Amino acid sequence: MRLLVHACCAPCSIPALRHFAGEDTLYLYYNPNVHPFREYRSRLDSWLQLMQEERLTHRVLGYEPEEWMRTVAFHEERRCELCYRLRLGKAAEVAAQEGCEALTTTLFASPYQKHELLEREGEEACMSAGIRFVVWDGSAYYRQARQEARDRGLYAQSYCGCLLSERERYDKSRRKLPS
């Protein structure tokens, strides 16, 4: 089975490349949600370094922050759902074009992502593209993978990537208080 793996970053790609070792994989970097551009470049450069070191087949789609902004504008409370839909929808299109039978995402490696929502959006995207969506759980390896990334000199970010998550991460007045 040829599998396209949508990748969000180098640290989350580490559990995926271990999990899918031996599979015919194509890794795809498409993350129009990442803001600001310097953050995007840091993540991309680190991910490219990992792809080269591991000798993995990969593609990068252009940076389209405007597409992400148009998608989530005035729907900020649903931003994760819409962001997953945008990214996995584009990944499913690429997977079908590349002759892949299935798609998954490295987002499943993060315990901070909404796995049920990812599964729903991934299945929808794949149904439209006529391919299968592969669900896996790499979150048990998340901390280990982040440490490995640091040990390898790869960039490990401190927030999801979008402008709104950056604000929540660093603006103490916007943080959600425990119930």
Q: Tell me which H or E stretch contains 65.
A: helix 65-72
Q: Taking the CA atoms of 170, 89, 15 and 8 in sequence, report the sign of the dihedral they define.
A: negative
> Is 73 exposed, middle or buried (CB count within 10 Å of its CB: 0-12, 13-18, 19+)?
exposed
Among the ranges given (70-84, 108-122, 140-154), the one the predictor scored with the smallest mean pLDDT? 70-84
Task: Show contacts of 43-49: CB within 8 Å, 24+ apart.
Answer: 43/8, 43/9, 43/10, 43/155, 43/157, 43/161, 45/155, 46/9, 46/10, 46/149, 46/154, 46/155, 47/7, 47/9, 47/10, 47/13, 49/10, 49/153, 49/154
Q: Which residues of 29-59 are buried (b: 16+ CB within 10 A; e: fewer)?
A: bbbbbbbeeebbebbbebbeebbeeeebebe
pLDDT tens string 34-65: 988 999 999 999 999 999 999 999 999 999 98
Q: Does 114 score more than 60 pLDDT?
A: yes
Residues 6+ apart with CB under 8 A from 66: 32
Q: Which sign, positive or negative, has the C-alpha torsion 30, 3, 145, 167?
A: positive
Average pLDDT over residues 78-105: 94
CATH number for region 2-174: 3.40.50.620
Q: Give the least confident one: 61-65, 92-96, 117-121, 160-164.
A: 160-164
Chain segment 116-156, per-residue pLDDT in tens: 999 999 999 999 999 999 999 999 999 999 999 999 999 88
Per the prediction, the chain carries an average pLDDT of 90
- Cβ atoms of 117 and 87 within 8 Å: the answer is no
